[in-house]
Amino acid sequence: MLSVLQTGRRELRGSNPVIPPHRSLKRSNGNRLGRVERSKATYEKRKANRQCSYGGCLAKSELGHTRCRRHLQAMSKRNKEQYQKRIRDCLCSYCGQLPPFWGVRCIICRQRFTKHPLPYGARRALRLFRDAQKRRERERIQVEARHAVRRLLASGDINKKSAKALRLYAGIDNGKWRTYNEVGQVMKISKERVRQMLLPSKITLTRLLGDSVPWRPVTELNLMSN
């Protein structure tokens, strides 16, 4: 029974990629947890005595480190080589398993080092893209509204003065929408008078274009006119 348990355990350890096979074989005759505890205690003891924590090394550890200068340098060299190999192989510098995402680490390891799940460059690109989309939509609405204004002007359904105000407001002459104030300045009338003159045309245009108008919804305009 015991041997079955032991082999079962050995197989389990063997399947664990973290523990090299030669070590798992050595461990099969001892209590694993006990060994871990013991090596931890040894490590702590060597650390407290300022002895290099590398097994069997007799040198003193460097100040602020747990290893001697020679073993620190060896560790640093190994890490550097591993880092460079992973970069060469196009793998995450931290786990060495996934491809890097916007830098040297993969999308999962990245989260251990940063607050935002997306890097600054990606966020900026997304923001610019959304801004461009909004701008394009705004321009499309303005172009369509100007077309509708042209059709309305061509129909001749509005009186001369209102037509002039509308032409100036939609910028039929220069391609730029004007404010009530700017229209008022050109026509030498008040801003309020411009609003009153444009209201019937705006209601007609809103009925034609629905929500896609470059001004506030017509319901608000109705309220304002009361």
- Cβ proximity to Zn ion: between 75 and 143 the closer is 75
Long-range interactions of 56-65: CB distance < 8 A, separation 24+: none
Using alpha carbons, select from 207, 208, 139, 132 the residue that is nearest to residue 171: 139
Alpha carbon distance 133, 135 (integer Å): 5
- Give the other-Cβ count within 10 Å of 183's Cβ: 25
Q: Which residue number, 54 or 180, has a Cβ lying nearer to Zn ion?
A: 54
CB of 151 to Zn ion, least distance (A): 60
Q: Which is nearer to Zn ion, 59 or 224 (CB)?
A: 59
Contact residues for Zn ion (CB under 5 A)? 52, 54, 57, 59, 68, 71, 92, 94-95, 106, 109
Q: Which is nearer to Zn ion, 35 or 50 (CB)?
A: 50
Q: C-beta of 95: minimal distance to Zn ion in Å?
A: 3
The position carrying tokens 């009530």 is 180
Q: How far is the CB of 119 from Zn ion (least distance, A)?
A: 14
Instruction: Provide the phi-psi class of 52: left if phi over 0, else alpha when psi is between -120 and 50, else beta.
Output: beta
Residue 76 beta carbon to Zn ion: minimum distance, rounded to whole angstroms: 13
Tokens at 11, concatenated: 């197989």
